[in-house]
Chains A and B, each alone.
Chain A
């Protein structure tokens, strides 16, 4: 009993000491935090800073949205600085109109004198200037007239070289005429806020479109069931590498065909190609992709279909390239003929240009994908149908070759970054290591054993997404500015890239939380993987996807308002400029615009979310 009590007491003592240490540690952490963030409350009370703060806050409270046409009234009076020896000549002012009286009418530098004005416009303001013979304007004070058009101001005379003849004091009253109109700041802000919204729109659209397929690869529940025997994995990896190697010249060839047709302005041939190509591709694909047969098709049938599909793909890609030519040409002529709607023409041309840019990528991906699919199938055949011994030896060779090729390719990538340029180091050594690794894996895995290749792809996808996501768009835009120049295009690319990473992660988490039952049911009907995704996964994820897309759209609008700080275009550019120029009234307009847009988007997106979820 007492032993137990002692133990309890000991434990509570330990606990108190632990708590004490925790509190102490907390204190130290915050003390250090104050130190490194240079917390200094004295600065917040300093008078200079407070006046500055007041000035800026007042400026911010007066956004320069509206301005008036101004009318000025200049009234002058002679003034002697210093007082002349013979006294000041009497020149009574003309009191029928507005006039100035300086008391005394002469003085020395730094002397305070009084200036009164009569018959001015009532309730106006303006500067009081001292004008020496050189004509330079020295502002010495301000005037503010009362309801009778009278003012009186005490001003200090400037320090000037003494001059004998009379100099001039000029009071300028200003008043607004006519109706207010939008200031230039307001107009440019409007331009830029439109740019900002569209920047966010494009980034969200392209980011979402890319994030959706990526999110399936980054979903554990879909990928963990993807298992392939080693031969198949190795061969399809080889297929990718080979396909990319073949795809690059193929892409160049197709590009050349397209360029030469464009250069020779053979638009009719192009048009014919655009019409015939897709039709041919469609017909071939229809023939090559029939309804599923009851029996497995023969090898001859399947090779015939493969050839037809290849031809169909070539037709489709060439017509894609021709479409881009046509769009560029049509866009250019639209720009010339549409007048104020020229932007539609340049949109068409830009779309065409983007298709032209994407086509080589599509070619390489199609080549890689097709070869990888075919060789993967071959690998599965080897693994499942060949006698175990033969399969094993094929496996060893294929795995070694793949390992070598893969690591050599990675070596080439590293070399591109670091320019080592030593083939021994960046090609042969990695190839050797890869071959040995592949050989070891093939030795250890039995040829028919299905490897969790899906889980590997999942891990890689997640890692890349997490890495990309952790780089803020504000940082990414720096790289894009180098690539495409300062402006909204760089901003939208940076935002789009970040959107892909962030959304793919959120989306894939939604895929992971779908009900497994319907997925199982659709799989059980004999549906393939893609069909399973379309029929069992997508219907389940539509509401969260919409919700996350709206959420991201919100974030992108916010981000796009400041991406200009780093050269990414949009309103941030203007805001930063005005802050640097100390034009706080201008900056205030942009802040107001940002607030309005963000609040509106907030409202719209939550309304849409409510509607569809």
Chain B
């Protein structure tokens, strides 16, 4: 259970990116976050694992106050929260296997990991996760030799190495073409359904929201505009979220 209350973020230069956002997400839910670019979606997701320090408000996850955690506690919390990025954020000069294994860093012996040594079980687990997203034969290639879709699958495998209870996906398909987009979304769906991982995923296209999400929240200029099922987003809500001039395409 993730409970966010009155979360605000003011960036340097007085940019109000989040304005007293409150919502809850149940364990195992697939929640979509929608909104125009600049509406604060990335900021919201990054506040949840404190890649961005919230200015105000509270994030409580499974009874633990994330906003209040010390650095050490935060590392323990983070390793249970996977993250998938729009631009994949792989270390491009490292091998795919190394990228996937880096998802394990929060668990392994810190000293051994500095010498790039991982326990055998972890390497096997990495192989399993790569098999799951169909990139086993890319394991020893450099990450930047892979296509976009493959790179995002590496990103998912890396997140899965954390044995996460929640995955934050920040526009995971925005830099992929539509066919690939669906395949990536299907992996996330599978992780959500089979492993019971909570997924909070910001999305651009409403059809993806309808197709994959159990619930949706919408942001506009940092304010929460909508919280409900995707089906509840009617034309009026749509205009509220995206502005008066917006046309519905999907």
CB within 8 Å of B: which residues of A?
A: 285, 289-292, 294, 296, 380, 384, 515, 517-518, 520-528, 530-531, 534-536, 539-540, 542-543
Contacts and interface: CB of A to CB of B under 8 A. Distances in A.
B109 interface: yes
A384 B78 contact: no
Interface string B88-101: 11111110001000
27 contacts: A285-B111, A290-B109, A291-B108, A292-B76, A292-B106, A296-B73, A296-B76, A517-B85, A517-B88, A521-B89, A521-B158, A522-B102, A522-B105, A523-B78, A524-B83, A525-B104, A525-B158, A525-B161, A526-B76, A526-B80, A526-B105, A530-B114, A531-B110, A531-B114, A534-B113, A535-B105, A540-B92
A543 B144 CA distance: 15
Nearest to B142: A539
B201 to A, nearest CB: 15
A525 B162 contact: yes
A291 B91 contact: no
Contacts of A531: 105, 110, 113-114
Contacts of B161: 525
A104 to B, nearest CB: 91
A525 B103 contact: yes
A294 B163 CA distance: 12
B85 A521 contact: yes
Contact of A525 (B85, B102, B109): B102
B78 A524 contact: yes
Nearest to A532: B105
B18 to A, nearest CB: 18
Nearest to A285: B111
Residue among A294, A380, A528 with the most chain B CB within 10 A? A528
A271 B3 CA distance: 61
B81 interface: yes
B23 interface: no
A521 B156 CA distance: 11
A380 B106 CA distance: 20
Given A289-B111, A522-B91, A527 B119 contact: no
Interface of B: 49, 51, 68, 70-73, 75-83, 85, 87-94, 98, 102-111, 113-114, 116, 119, 155, 158, 161-162
Contact of B89 (A380, A384, A517): A517
B108 A292 contact: yes
B105 A540 contact: no
Contacts of A520: 51, 85, 89
Given A517-B87, A536-B91, A528 B110 contact: yes
Contact of A518 (B91, B105, B111): B91
A289 B113 CA distance: 11
A289 B91 contact: no
Contacts of A518: 89-92
A447 to B, nearest CB: 13
A292 B103 CA distance: 14
A199 B92 CA distance: 37
B46 to A, nearest CB: 8
Given A296-B73, A518-B89, A526-B78, A535 B106 contact: no
A234 B87 CA distance: 40
A540 B77 CA distance: 27
A291 to B, nearest CB: 5
A301 to B, nearest CB: 15
Given A535-B94, A536-B91, A291 B83 contact: no
A525 B108 contact: no
Given A528-B110, A531-B110, A535-B102, A521 B90 contact: yes
Contact of B51 (A380, A524, A530, A535): A524
Nearest to A521: B89
B106 A539 contact: no
Nearest to A226: B71
Contacts of B78: 523-526
A539 B93 CA distance: 6
A539 B88 CA distance: 16
Given A517-B89, A518-B92, A526-B77, 14 more contacts: A292-B76, A292-B109, A296-B72, A296-B73, A515-B89, A524-B49, A524-B78, A524-B82, A525-B83, A526-B105, A526-B162, A530-B110, A531-B110, A542-B93
B119 A291 contact: yes
A527 B75 CA distance: 7
A530 B105 CA distance: 11
A199 to B, nearest CB: 32
Contacts of A291: 107-109, 119
A91 B77 CA distance: 117
A221 to B, nearest CB: 14
B75 A526 contact: yes
- List 6 tightest A-B contacts by C-beta distance, closest first: A526-B106, A526-B79, A527-B105, A517-B89, A521-B89, A526-B78
Residue among A296, A530, A531 with the most chain B CB within 10 A? A531
B91 A540 contact: yes
A584 B161 CA distance: 70
A521 B83 contact: yes
A292 B155 CA distance: 23
Nearest to B81: A524
A523 B71 CA distance: 12
A525 B79 contact: yes
A308 to B, nearest CB: 13
A535 B158 CA distance: 13
B94 A539 contact: yes
B114 A534 contact: yes
B106 A384 contact: no
Contacts of B94: 535, 539
A500 B61 CA distance: 46
Nearest to B52: A520
Residue among B80, B82, B109 with the most chain A CB within 10 A? B109
Contacts of A515: 89
Contacts of B70: 380, 384
Contacts of A539: 91-94
B101 to A, nearest CB: 9
A518 B92 CA distance: 8
A526 B102 CA distance: 10
Contacts of B83: 521, 524-525
A535 B91 contact: yes
A410 B103 CA distance: 44
Nearest to B79: A526
A164 B92 CA distance: 98
Given A291-B119, A522-B105, A540 B93 contact: yes
A367 to B, nearest CB: 19
A534 B83 CA distance: 19
